[in-house]
Chain A
Amino acid sequence: MKVLVTMKRTPQRDARIRVHRDGRALELDGVKYDVNPFDELAVEEALRLRDAGAGVDEVVVVTVGPEAAQPQLVSALAMGADRALRVDAPEDLDALQIARALRGVVEREKPVLVLAGKLAYDDESGQVPAMLAGLLGWPQASQASKIALSAGVASARVTCEVDAGLEEVEVTLPAVITADLRLNEPRYASLPGIMKAKKKPQDVIPLAELGDFGAPRARVIRYRPLPPKPAGVRVASVAALVAALSEKKLI
């Protein structure tokens, strides 16, 4: 049985992202990319499910994007994924288009489980996995901090981090589950893993093979930095802090 992990490339966490002079786009020249950290959690979880030897025997990673996204697929292969797929598509597809492309991949690959990071580190919208579940008519579980597959891989018991606390749900498989930070600690790719990665299958599917996509219906038309915050004051004692808060009528 197969687990499909969807992933996105995102700028490295410490990259300083600047807005282009015209305000319409970001300055991304020279920015380095990583696998979206939340998707890395999903890759790691898929590998653990496979290595537990309880019914999952293949981990396939997929990304929807241009050729520049290929290295991040190779990173996932280096971690231990078995096969990589890239749906060749422009970078500006909106979330629903990406979900539709992924549905096409799911219909081809027929995984028993789709795992994804709960959101992308850059855009932070977190829409694609739930949209994919809706398009497929599959159950979904979000922000998972624990996933346990039933014997026979018919269902999964998932602990979800929700506003109220920890919610345990059971989903029948196939399902879409998103990974949260406390799900696991992703492994580093080993040197043998990196060498093996290059020999693993990497397929490309043209977007047009998966349907008619048209123009995106959600797009960013402008970026601007946050308005600067006026500098605060330093106080030298608790008494001074109390006075400051009292002046603001907070005490």
Chain B
Amino acid sequence: MSDVLVVIGPATSPLRKADRAAVGFGRAAAGALGGHCDVLLVGAGSAAAAEESAALGARRVHTASGAGLETYTAEGFAALVAAFLDARDYRLIAAATASGSREYLPRLAALIDAPMASDVLAIESLDDERAVFTRAVFVGNLLASVELSGPRVLATCRASAFDTPETSSSKSAIEAFAPPPGATAHDGKRFVALHQAKSERPDLKEASIVVSVGRGTRGPADGIPLCERLADAFGAALGATRAVVDAGWLPNEYQVGQTGKIVAPELYVAIGLSGSIQHIAGMRNSKTIVAINKDPEAPIFEIADVGLVADLFDAVPALTAAVESRRG
């Protein structure tokens, strides 16, 4: 058994950057095993995502949609993948770390009785007997090498740690998978509503530049609009600390940190945020980190590549003007 299955669910069109990176992870794993990487697209968006998925260098792309999969649920998706795996041999089943996979992949691990590693950063060793992955523990302060035993293992992979594969000129075969009737039924869970802030800005997990705001901005009537203008000048996504979300200044989906999103953009501009351990865990791998804070002792300066001790209410408008004129 030396093949890898990358699960993308719910499948979107275009594919999320994280899901493309997961295919990169899957292909690297398949390379280490001397086997193939297949992709399984799950959910109502599967058919639309198939074409793009088929250009990522996988052997086969399977699509699965229909009853029980119209909206994402951990119960339906885990059951679907379990049904898919029933007659197929895969050494590794992987998915990008996301709020969905954080719940459906461990559920699947229980259904198929196989061990799992969460939010993997690197493959240390992978063959038919042993699987060793690197992951971060203790709020991202330590690296642990996790060894998974057994013929079948699972992993979620951190999107920012893996390269998305280049578009392949050869197309993967595309096949629809129809689960046995009733396999994905999940009477116990009903989707009610999704409350999502509407924004023209890039998604926090997709953007190459993030402008992130902390409590020092003093809120939506004060510093946050200044930072939003900076974000717009950069064409950046907006991020936030837990304190800002707790205060209700920005919605939860903007939170960067141990318990929010973990991002690694080309440029991360941290404004009026002191840099708690939990926040740093969410952004320390950004390629360039800029910090603007009036407190010279703020921990964020310890990991910033470029630090400016200044009052953000002066510095941010000045920086915005400079970016606007250069990009203009």
Contacts and interface: CB of A to CB of B under 8 A. Distances in A.
A229 to B, nearest CB: 6
B173 interface: no
B242 to A, nearest CB: 7
Interface stretch (A50-58, A77-85, A197-205, A214-222): A214-222
B322 interface: yes
B87 interface: no
Interface of A: 11, 17, 19, 26, 94-96, 99, 118-119, 121-135, 138-143, 145, 157, 160-172, 175, 180-182, 215, 217-226, 229, 232-242, 244-246, 248, 250-251
Contacts of A220: 137, 144-147
Interface of B: 73-75, 78, 98-100, 102-111, 113-119, 132, 135-150, 186-197, 205, 209, 242, 245-246, 251-253, 258-259, 261, 266-267, 284, 288-290, 292, 301, 303-310, 315, 318-319, 322-323, 326-327
* A contacts with B: majority SS: mixed
Q: Is the interface of B mostly helix, strand, loop or mixed?
A: mixed
Contacts of A217: 114-115, 148-150
A175 B188 contact: yes
Given A131-B107, A218-B147, A165 B259 contact: no
B107 A133 contact: yes
Given A139-B75, A226-B141, A232-B304, A134 B115 contact: no
Contact of B116 (A127, A164, A170, A226): A127
B318 A169 contact: no
Nearest to B257: A181
A96 B306 contact: no
A232 B138 contact: no
B110 A131 contact: yes
A209 B145 CA distance: 32
A248 B288 contact: yes
A224 B306 contact: no
18 contacts: A17-B142, A96-B114, A96-B116, A124-B138, A127-B116, A130-B105, A130-B110, A132-B110, A133-B107, A139-B75, A145-B252, A167-B191, A168-B192, A169-B192, A219-B146, A223-B144, A244-B306, A251-B322
